Amino acid sequence: MGRASKLTLLAILLAVVLLLPAAAAAAAVAKAIDASNSQRLGLPDALVGPESVAFDGHGAGPYVSISDGRVLKYGGKGADDWTTFTYSPSYTKNICDQPSELPSVATESSCGRPLGLRFHRNSGNLYIADAYMGLMRVGPSGGEATVLATGAAGEPFRFTNGVDVDQVTGDVYFTDSSKTYQRSQHQMVTTSGDSTGRIMKYDPRTNQVTVLQSGVTYPNGIAISDDRTHLIVALTGPCKLLRYWIRGPKANTSEIFADLPGYPDNVRPDGKGGYWIALHREKFEVPFGVNKHLVAVRIGAQGEKLQEMTGAKSVRPTEVVEREDGKIYLGSVELSLKPFFKKPVKAAFPDEFVRPNQKIPNYVNGPRPGSRKLALQVGFEPWCPLELGSRVPDR
């Protein structure tokens, strides 16, 4: 790294929060977290887009996936203490590693665009869902990543997105958001009503990829449950969470787990049996007057609402990672995030969650009759309706 250019305003938000007492955490709705009370952990030069945040088995990091195709590792000694940890086999420094105020769509298809990051703690391997390269892996020493899979069931990946690892078996679960559109066309996945996404499993012992479920509407982030019986998958277009059972009497079936108040991106365990869901945009946003909005929600193991996180309109996270010490890291693809230092404030929580087994329309296996036509006419995906003052999400 070592370039002396000014830091970009974009970074990871390092939100230092106080852990709630056990009694408060057990309450139906915990006190809201204000993401405005945060510190900026800057990226060097004009580097942007720390989409995903990960820590290795020794607690080192964070590691972040950025828009020029690399994964960086933070050394903990200030804003300049970032090093290149890994990159795709097609990464070329003189082409890909160029300062830019915006991610280059022209170069990311050749340089790679790493999105989801997860470590397998026992082996130290880092698994990477690269939007263009597919599923990749790199060892604990970093260096050039190995491409493990570029397709499944005879069909290539178009938009590899989220990833998680079963820490016991080493199995890797990941998503391909669309068989039709690439990441550079991500808005079309929502506006067209595309339902060609897939949920998949990679077996590191056999190097085989199995399609667990196809015909899914914009599967994005993915997380395995604490008891390893099911997966929670963010459905960005429908603004929902899907639960896919991988073990037990319901194995190989799925159901809607929760209805969300915005467009979800990545899903991460909260360390308490629940999940943090980053919301890149709310369903309804007032374009004037209010400079704060919902940026994330925390839900419990049964889909119940637990907590919300609010922040300034400039804060649009893609991932929320809560550490054992109570610090919360937010990944983002936005360019301008400003640090504020305020106490958390209590806020009303939208009561828009759907409990498991509640009867709901089928949003999982494709659009409703005629919904694709409606989506093309009005310009947004109809299952997560936009209201006055809203716009199609950027991711």
Q: Once rounded to an integer, what is the mean pLDDT over residues 36-41?
A: 78
Q: Do the beta carbons of residue 134 and residue 91 sit within 8 Å? A: no
pTM: 0.81
Residue-wise pLDDT for 341-388, tens only, equals: 222 322 222 222 223 333 333 344 444 333 333 222 223 334 565 433
pLDDT at 87: 97
* C-alpha span between 283 and 245 (Å, rounded): 28
Report the Cα 202 to chain-centroid distance in Å.
19
Distance from the first to the final alpha carbon of the chain: 28
To which CATH superfamily is domain 46-274+359-378 assigned?
Answer: TolB, C-terminal domain (2.120.10.30)
The overall average pLDDT reported for the chain is 79
Average pLDDT over residues 36-53: 82
Tell me, what's the pLDDT at 35? 85
How does residue 47 score in pLDDT terms, banded at 50, 70 and 90?
A: confident
pLDDT bracket for residue 25 (50, 70, 90) = very low
Report the candidate in 255, 184, 182 with the shortest Cα–Cα distance to residue 213.
255
CB 352 within 8 A of CB 259: yes
Per-domain boundaries in the chain? 46-274+359-378
As a whole number, mean pLDDT of residues 46-52 equals 86
pLDDT cut 70: percent of the chain above it? 73
Q: How confident is the model at residue 287 (pLDDT cuts 50, 70, 90)?
A: low
The answer to whether 190 touches 218, Cβ cutoff 8 Å, is: yes
pLDDT category, 286, cuts 50, 70, 90? low
- How far is CA 285 from each of CA 96, 261, 282, 296, 308, rounded to the nearest angstrom? 35, 11, 6, 14, 16
